[in-house]
Amino acid sequence: MDAVEKDVLKKDLEATLQTRRDLGPEYEPALVESFLDKVDVQLTRRLAEQRVAAARSTDQGPDLRGFGARYGFAALSLVLAVPLSAIGVANAGIGGLLVAWGGILGVNFCAAAKSWRRDAED
């Protein structure tokens, strides 16, 4: 919430409390409900703004900046390399093995390049 929204809610709360003093405790439930409705409207509007902003932002894929994410991705690639290598060799011999490892290296290089680009932007 920005300062303007907080200021508006603070003034609404002060007005609600003053109205309660003026009208007495028998109107307290209605005054509290009215104030909470105002808070709900503010929060709903703020949430909608955040959703619109998130929808408009461009998705740049997974964030591979952290140690665990980077090396987890590399480890997963190596685990998948075993069956991919076996399939490549079984179907196309050494050429299939080279194609499988070329693909593995390409995917890892692209992920690393994206990470390097993000690091350079920061």
> How many domains, in total, are found in the chain?
2
pLDDT tens digits, 10-22: 888 888 888 888 8
> What per-residue confidence (pLDDT) applies to 27?
86
| Shared domain check, 39 and 83 | no
What residue numbers bound the domain in which 15 lies? 3-56
* pLDDT at site 116: 74
Q: To which residue do tokens 């003053």 refer?
A: 18
pLDDT by residue (tens digit) across 15-41?
A: 888 888 888 888 888 888 888 888 888
The per-residue pLDDT for range 56-99, each reduced to its tens digit, is 776 555 554 566 777 788 788 888 888 989 998 999 999 999 99
- Same domain, yes or no: 78 and 93: yes
